[in-house]
Structure 1
Amino acid sequence: MGMRRFLVVVSLSLASAASACEADPPQDPTVPRPKSGDWLARHEALNARVRQGHVDLIFLGDSITAGWENEGKDVWDTHFAPLHAVNLGIGGDRTQNVLWRLDNGNIAGIRPKLAVVMIGTNNSDRNTPEEIAAGVTAIVRKLRQKLLTTRVLLLGIFPRGANNDDPRRQVNAATNAIIANLDDGNMITYLDIGPEFVAI
């Protein structure tokens, strides 16, 4: 390949990459956004379960929540399954993905007594605490709008990293300080159990 042709190919590649970046702007945690592939298959499976009914308790979140089906299965089967609980966790989810799911079937046609929510840690590598808190707030508000009689238990985002100096742990802690204010003493309760899982 001659130098001129090489430069043309590189230039076209860079132009294509730039166009792709322009078409995919930085993600806003408050703007609903789906994924594809296995994620969409999981989403559709959750919708199928919800359509079966008998849903009194939902857990909404990312891989931490989805983990109830794996490492936490024994606890789930003993304590939550008898309460007609449904696990609506999908690994890797950010607030914007959960918002999309809430608009696309995950809570359609059900009236659970309680929604347990933990989300936001996967936003901590690219969003500020204020932005993440806005996304969490949007989720809580959407739940309250769509599920008028459902109480919300909002869990603080778990700590990340080895210690308190970890930047993402600091982002999560700052986010928690904001979303704690969503507790209204009535339909929304905030609870931070993260400190129970760390020694430092």
Structure 2
Amino acid sequence: MDKPLLKKLFPGFEDALYEEMLQHGVLRYVKEGEPLLRVGQHIRSVILILEGVIKLYREDDDGNEFFIYHLNAGQACSLSLVCAYKQETSEVMARAVTNATLLTIPLELMDKWLSHYKSWYEFVITSYRNRFEELLKTIDAVAFSNMDERLEFYLRKQVAQFGPVLKLTHQDIAGDLNSSREVISRLLKKMEAKGLSGLTEIPLNG
């Protein structure tokens, strides 16, 4: 990791802040499928994404998952910003969708950076706002849409993230939408019949 990479991924920080990130940040490499956060876990550092995709989701008592949003390179896990600063535990799960590289920042630097670096303060506020907007979109999709509309909304987000060829099974989609594989398979066939098959490439019997 070097300063040019940090400047590319996190533009607009003061030079002194980049130096502190290089000095105090710890690189962490996670493999596809590896969990990063669990419900009830204490968060003792801020997580910045340098490479890869991280999935945030909720899990019910039966182990069923509900997809919230993805984090990409150049973004921060806002939950880690909040929980680390307030020394609270996580209320969501996080898992690496791809191999990923993270930069973790020790908790004790947060007060200093928030008061010393205007760019970091603005970055934290922007991260909160962006993730809140993502959460509102997800809530709207759940509260005000039926399952076929939720499925199309979900697929469009996945295509925007990963491209038109998705490595998802029908069971993966059902898990993220808290539905059943049978319902998802039926709705995907319905989408194809309506001419929406060009949205993405997922086997109808996947």
TM-score where L is the length of structure 2: 0.28
Q: Which protein is bigger by CA-based radius of gyration?
A: 1
TM-score where L is the length of structure 1: 0.29
